[in-house]
Structure formats: C-alpha cells, structure tokens
Amino acid sequence: MCEPDKACANEGLGLANAILIHLPPTASVNKCCEWLQDYFKLYPNKSVSAVIFYQPSVATDMETNHSFLNHYFNIVMRNDRVAAFIPEGLHLSCTIPIGKLSTEPVSLQLVAEFPDGKKELRTIDDRYFYQSGNHYIKMKPDGKGGFYGNIEQLGNGIFSHVVIELPGQAEKAAIGGKFPPKDVLLIL
C-alpha cells in the first residue's frame, strides 16, 4: 500500500488506476480504443485498469451551419477488472458548463460546395487529415461594376482568400479573413 502523499502505481486494497487522456479533434477515438485494447492484451499485468479518453472539439451542425463546443468521453476498462474498478452503488455524473455532451465522437468531414448549392460530404475519420492550407477563389463581377466573393473559415487551419482582378490592371490582389490559426481548444 502507498503512503497517502506519494503517487501509487500499484492497484489493490480498494485502489484502481485510471489515466485521463485529452485527445485533439483530429485523433480517431475508435483507433485509440483499438490500440488500447491491444495494449491491455499485450501487458495484462500493468497497473492500469481504465483509460478515459476526453475529446473536446468545435463542431458544426451541417443542417443549421451553427458551431458549438462538443465534449466526448470514452471510458475503456480492462474486462477482467471492471467489477473491482466500479464499486457497487457507484454513480458518476458530469456537468458540462458550455457546449454539448456527446455519445459519439465528432466525425471529421470534408465538405464540397457546388455553385448550384449542392453539398457533398466525405468522412475522413480513419485517415490523416491535412491540417493547414490556403484556398484562393477568384472574385466574380456582380454585373453592376463591382465584384463579390465569400471569405469564410473552411476548416481547422484552412483559410480562404478571395482574389480580385480589376479590368485593365496587370496586378491581382488577395483579401483574406481574420481567423485563428488553429481551432485549438484548451480545457484544463
């Protein structure tokens, strides 16, 4: 048994070890759970009975185009230690002050928007996600002597810019929006 003021690595006598891991939004929780189960099989005598994956992310509801803070938790326990880890009568509750508590991780999707308004979604949960880039769109004449274009944040680390070409001018100009460099969410 450990002394109360020292970290205890050994389990037993009412002690069970759990690790809390904060995952970035681009990590696949499902893959992490698979790897953890493999770890539990390879190292059955390690003094860790559970791992709690926590993945906060900024998510967008595709139907309403509103963003919100999404909180996802996944608790993975060793099957042979579940009864010892969760005492009888234990009830856990969680209060999220901002955002939504989710039962599923946020799905990473690429969205293609076509001129006719149609959107096409591609899910990329189990693939590498390129996390930085610039997207340039040529401004279009509005028919009244002006130009129009849309500057929006396309995704985490992907920035849109509109390029304007004025008639009779050899030079072009690019206009970009002011967005954070990354959607990094730090929750302590």
As a whole number of angstroms, the distance between CA 187 and CA 41 comes to 31
pTM of the model: 0.64
2 HSE (CA, 13 A, CB side): 13
Q: Which amino acid is at 113?
A: E
Residue 4 has pLDDT above 50, yes or no: no
Greater confidence (17 vs 72) lies with 72
Percent of the chain with pLDDT over 90: 12
The confidence score (pLDDT) of residue 157 equals 75
User: Burial level of 8, CB count in 10 A (0-12/13-18/19+)?
Assistant: middle
Instruction: Report which of 29, 70, 26, 28 is spatially closest to residue 51, judged by C-alpha positions.
Output: 29
Q: Which amino acid is at 50?
A: A
Q: Which amino acid is at 112?
A: A
